[in-house]
Amino acid sequence: MHILKAGDYVIAQGFHYPHRVETVENRARQRGLDPREGLERHLNKFPESPTAFVDATLFVISDSPTLDIAKLPETKAKATVLRDGDEVEIERYCYAVRVHGERVSNPIAFTRTWPKKPSLEVAELKLDWRRDPHWDIEGTEGFEHYYSALKAYREGIAAEHEAKEAAEREARIAELDAAAGLNGNRALAEYIIGLEDRIAQVDGYTDNLFERVREIEAH
């Protein structure tokens, strides 16, 4: 098992110059892009075939023989020699090495199988998240193919909640205005509602504190 990281140099069996290991995520960050969206794009483009891209954490071998540093003897001396079928570990993920023909500009691929999830599993994930949305659903491990769709789903739910809260607040303002005769004084209505919300919050904290005291006394 070879342990590699981005920036390391490797030599594929039968090739003269070292190639540098680079991650798609790093390249996305360098360009100011969301690395996980880049990951999803490449996952969906290359879901099965071993290519220069990897369907998982996605690594790419840069065409570094064109760089002067790759021609230095010390670079070649430090490079890891990889053969077809070798196993490598890159940032905690294990891959099988595939070496392509000499005329391929990116001769090495690290392959790792992550099949797409059935639509039923995606639907179940959404239900689980709706019950307890304590994490960003698009970051769920194993669902990398659906990053953009899950992110849009989370943002859509958040927008729905915001719209619902805004509508409920407007209804409270209208009801308070009519009941207290504020004559459309919105600033005063919002101030009163803010006080009511803070009082309700303090009441909630007090109830929780009393409940914890009772639990401690019971033990």
Tens of each residue's pLDDT in the chain, 219 residues: 888 887 788 887 767 777 777 766 666 677 777 766 666 665 555 444 433 334 334 455 555 555 666 667 788 788 888 888 888 887 666 777 877 655 555 566 666 655 567 788 999 999 999 999 999 998 888 787 788 889 899 999 999 999 999 899 888 888 888 888 888 888 888 888 888 888 888 888 888 888 888 888 887
Taking 3-state DSSP, the helix, strand and coil percentages for the chain, each rounded to the nearest 5, stand at 55, 15, 30
pLDDT at 159: 94
- pLDDT of 146 reads 82
| 14: alpha, beta or left? (left if phi > 0; alpha if psi -120 to 50) | left
For 45, how many CA atoms within 13 A lie in the half-sphere containing its CB?
11
Task: Specify the pLDDT at position 66.
Answer: 57
Task: Identify the pLDDT of residue 25.
Answer: 66
161-to-156, 165, 168, 184, 201 alpha-carbon distances in Å: 9, 6, 10, 26, 19
Q: Tell the residue number behind the tokens 């190639």, with chain if given.
A: 19
Residue 41, pLDDT score:
62
What's the pLDDT score for residue 148?
Answer: 80
